[in-house]
Structure 1
Amino acid sequence: MTALGFLYPGHSAEDDYPRIEQLIGSDIRLTVVHTDMGEDAHSVDGLLEMGSAHRLEAGVEELRLSGAEAVVWACTSGSFVYGVQGAHEQVRGLARAAGLPASSTSFAFTHAARELGARRVAIGATYPDDVAALFAGFLKETGTEVAAVRGSGAVTAAEAAGWDYGEVLALAREADHPDADAILLPDTALHTASHLTALEKELAKPVLTANQVTVWEALRLTGRRVNAPALGTLFTREPIVQV
């Protein structure tokens, strides 16, 4: 049994996690602890507060008691908004507080893109354009080229959580670029766990989504490798990249 822990802001698409656990179909247990997100706003100030140390550390004890072997801050915007150096500091603080290996969804995207050999990516973000641009900058600084960025202007996680498959597919199509090796959908508030194979079939290339890469990152931290084709190309690749 491998126990993985996730700090998830508020309530939006957290039901992706039991769905992913089911699709993995192995001795993997996913525990989600909700953090207080403060204001639900895709704004720089709101996201900086959402990812603040005191909000993350408040959920750490519950994860420790769950027996988690690693912890991931399951929020893309609440990590990349700090920039690469700030996001590293955020993860180091989380690791110290938890006494466990730690990461965040932003770093999960960079590691997952590297695992797939995706040198250039297209970003389909639910966020406003200024926040989407910060994610593109984060990826570039961590070594992934960005061929295109599409922001959608959703101002809250609650709004993104209400999107159906058709809206998610439309975003991915609008974001796609001929030079992109993969398409990234970075919002953990977006329901995608049930749509990965359909998205990849429609777009004919790998699709990386926030909750998918977050779970993959936790597995990477514990050294586990699982083959779960229902979770997309990322979950059929071996070995897991070591960084």
Structure 2
Amino acid sequence: MTDVLGWRGVFGVLAPSTNTVVEPDYYRMAVPGVTAHIGRIHIKDQTLASDSHFEALLEQIRSEINLACARVLTAEPDYLVMGMSAETFWGGVEGNRQFTEAIESFSGLRVATGAEACRRALELFGATRIGVVTPYQAVGDANVERFFTELGHPVAAIKGLRCPTAVAIARVPEDTLREAIHEVDGDDVDAIVQVGTNLSMVSLADEMEQKLGKPVIAINAATWWMALRENGVTDQLSGYGSLLRDH
């Protein structure tokens, strides 16, 4: 039988327990007949004040992600969406491949990751050289840069906001993000990419695309776009960037 509300698709979303942005972002980008259901990855220590703390948080995610996945699978979703992005960039292109393969093998479902969604978006836009905004420490920025460089997208500039805790990411104001976008932009930059699903940037990306005249890819919009399009949902949404509006 078809789900009454999710008659076009029931998505299971895996997100850190500290994340307060990705769930409401997906709600406001909702389309009729598609529902999103969160499986929380328990974060016991959310400190991100150094590279070692950042890597320790990812270790927590690795030890907890299958438990979160198992819980959300009890809702019998049709598809999975990664509501976290750092781990999907870790280890470059091969790291993302292995991560995706592990989740799909465990769940038996296809999965949208932030890294793959950004790859598809950049290819769609024909963008090469990019600027990147992250909430991460240096080690996180290095893995993001590695991923894009391996794909053939040199990173002209990257701005890591060095958020001290996982919940602090959601408290970064729009003005700070706006300044960061301008900092990594330039005449030689084809597109701006924002990663970190707890940064609230889907609406700002739409605003900045119009001001800069180039793609500004917000991770939550890109991953949601990938999830919808992979499931044959072609609804076009305004206010969240050109990916969802025009593609």
> TM bucket by the smaller chain?
0.7 to 0.9
* TM-score normalised according to structure 2 size: 0.85
Counterpart-to-counterpart distance in 1, 2:39 and 2:128? 33
Match of 1:34 in 2: 40
For structure 1, the residue ranges without an aligned partner over 5 or more in a row are 239-243
Q: Is 1:3 aligned with 2:10?
A: yes
**Total equivalences in the alignment:** 236
Q: Shift of the alpha carbon at 1:206?
A: 1.6
Q: Is 1:231 aligned with 2:240?
A: yes
What is the one-letter code of the residue matched to 1:2? G
Match of 1:241 in 2: none
Counterpart-to-counterpart distance in 1, 2:43 and 2:202? 22
Counterpart-to-counterpart distance in 1, 2:161 and 2:181? 11
* TM-score normalised according to structure 1 size: 0.86
Q: Shift of the alpha carbon at 1:235?
A: 0.9
Q: Which has the larger radius of gyration?
A: 2
Counterpart-to-counterpart distance in 2, 1:138 and 1:91? 14
Match of 2:197 in 1: 188
Counterpart-to-counterpart distance in 1, 2:28 and 2:47? 31
CA RMSD in angstroms comes to 2.1
1:1-45 superposed Cα distances (whole Å, 9 cap, x missing partner): 22222100122333x434443344432212222111343244352
1:195 is paired with a residue whose SS is: helix
Match of 2:218 in 1: 209
Match of 2:85 in 1: 76
Counterpart-to-counterpart distance in 2, 1:25 and 1:157? 29
Q: Is 1:21 aligned with 2:30?
A: no
What is the one-letter code of the residue matched to 2:13? F
Please tell me whether the aligned partners of residues 135 and 160 of structure 2 are also in contact (alpha carbons under 8 angstroms): yes
Q: Shift of the alpha carbon at 1:211?
A: 1.5
Please tell me whether the aligned partners of residues 72 and 102 of structure 1 are also in contact (alpha carbons under 8 angstroms): yes
Cα gap change, 1:37 to 1:80, in 2 (>3 Å): farther
| TM superposition outliers: structure 1 runs of 4+ over 3 Å | 16-25, 41-44
- Paired-residue identity, %: 23
Please tell me whether the aligned partners of residues 101 and 221 of structure 1 are also in contact (alpha carbons under 8 angstroms): no
